[in-house]
Amino acid sequence: MTSAAASADLLELARDIAVRAGAFALEARRHGVSVAATKSTPTDVVTAVDRDTEELIRSLILEARPDDGIVGEEGAAHIGTSGLDWIVDPIDGTVNFLYDLPSWAVSIAVAEGGGADAAAGPGAIDGVTLAGVVCNPGSGELFEASLGGGARSTGRTLAVNRDVPLHQALVATGFGYAAELRRLQAEVLLGVLPSVRDIRRNGSAALDLCALAAGRVDAYYERGLNAWDHAAGGLIAREAGAHVAGPHGGPENSELLVAAAPGLYEELAELLRRAGLEA
Ligand code: IPD
Ligand code: CA
């Protein structure tokens, strides 16, 4: 198992790469952005900046750690031999990025003992996440955590809100790109919205998990995430005190991710179950 000192080194490298990649994407944004291609549906877009940012991240990781593996949203794949895998979303919140809304982020995590989409099912992290960084160049904020080392943002220790009852909870969620998934998500929302303070749809799963860690929302859930959406943010939320889990309380994956402080987590998971989402 990687030592705390090694995790700290990985975190430092992830932070350095995320900051450089964020600055690159922000500069590219100033010159204008357009859709380069669509992916799963006509609204699931990729810009040239997503691709170029991922390529920059990939080259910086391999320059520093040539034996590690890489899994990236825009297709970066490198099979490593070290047992460590980097899970990269070059721009989480691509639609916000396209529209010049500030909620988008570079998300980089390092996991040991597996990569994305392996034994725990599609969208799961197979292995243990050791370090995670979410960098939001639009706000100038950076969120980070290492396993057992707590979560921080710009020198501040992060902690989730405690003892919030469900009916007072501000709950973040997100929607996928496929029409059928959205229909289901809208149906579940009908069961959730009357029972909570309100809902937020920020447009970046990575930043939703960081908002939970920072106490800016009380809970977050979503169905349909990929490993790169939640790998770094999931560690940051956990290290800030959140309980993060997936279907039936098992590992979070494409089926489901629910995250909140203990107590609220159980209440929300039960509400989601009653609303038709297995938790
Ligand atoms: C998306 C964002 C969004 C979430 C979607 C993700 P992308 O990632 O995280 O908030 O609701 O499920 O796919 O496409 O912007 O990288
Ligand atoms: Ca994403």
90 lines ligand 1 (CB under 6 A): no
> pLDDT confidence of 117, banded at 50, 70, 90?
very low
> pLDDT confidence of 2, banded at 50, 70, 90?
confident
Distance CA 149, CA 255 (A): 28
- Name the H helices within 46-106: 48-64, 94-99
205 lines ligand 1 (CB under 6 A): yes
203 lines ligand 1 (CB under 6 A): yes
Least confident of 36-45, 156-165, 185-194: 36-45
pLDDT digits (tens, 9 = 90+) for 236-266: 999 999 999 999 999 999 999 999 999 999 9
Ligand whose nearest atom lies closest to the CA of 205: 1
Domains and CATH numbers, the chain: 4-157 (3.30.540.10), 166-274 (3.40.190.80)
pLDDT digits (tens, 9 = 90+) for 186-197: 999 999 999 999
Question: What is the structure's pLDDT at 172?
Answer: 98
Distance (Å) from CA 128 to ligand 2 centroid: 20
DSSP, collapsed to helix, strand or coil, labels residue 111 as strand
Question: What is the structure's pLDDT at 270?
Answer: 97
Across residues 47-52, what is the average pLDDT? 86
For the entire predicted model, the pTM comes to: 0.95
233 lines ligand 1 (CB under 6 A): no
225 lines ligand 1 (CB under 6 A): yes
Question: What is the structure's pLDDT at 31?
Answer: 85
151 lines ligand 1 (CB under 6 A): no
Across residues 181-205, what is the average pLDDT? 97
Question: What is the structure's pLDDT at 160?
Answer: 98
Ligand whose nearest atom lies closest to the CA of 224: 1
Per-residue pLDDT at 114 exceeds 80: no
Cβ pair 123, 254 in contact under 8 A: yes
Distance (Å) from CA 63 to ligand 2 centroid: 24
The phi and psi torsions of 192 (rounded to 5 degrees) equal -95, -45
Question: What is the structure's pLDDT at 120?
Answer: 61
Question: What is the structure's pLDDT at 119?
Answer: 52
Cβ pair 54, 90 in contact under 8 A: yes
72 lines ligand 1 (CB under 6 A): no
> pLDDT confidence of 115, banded at 50, 70, 90?
very low
| 276 conformational bin, left if phi > 0, alpha if psi -120 to 50, beta if neither | left
Ligand whose nearest atom lies closest to the CA of 45: 1
Question: What is the structure's pLDDT at 180?
Answer: 92
Across residues 204-224, what is the average pLDDT? 98
For the purposes of burial, counting CB atoms within 10 Å of the CB of 263, is it exposed (0-12), middle (13-18) or buried (19 or more)?
middle
Ligand 1: which of 136, 225, 253 to mutate, judged by most atoms within 8 Å of the beta carbon? 225
Per-residue pLDDT at 110 exceeds 80: yes
pLDDT digits (tens, 9 = 90+) for 12-31: 999 999 999 999 999 999 88
Across residues 201-227, what is the average pLDDT? 97
Widest CA span in the chain: 51
Per-residue pLDDT at 84 exceeds 50: yes
pLDDT digits (tens, 9 = 90+) for 133-157: 999 999 999 999 999 999 999 889 9
Across residues 147-170, what is the average pLDDT? 96
Question: What is the structure's pLDDT at 1?
Answer: 56
169 lines ligand 1 (CB under 6 A): no
- Nearest CA owner, ligand 1 atom 12: 176
Alpha-carbon torsion 211, 242, 158, 22, what sign?
negative
Cβ pair 151, 236 in contact under 8 A: yes
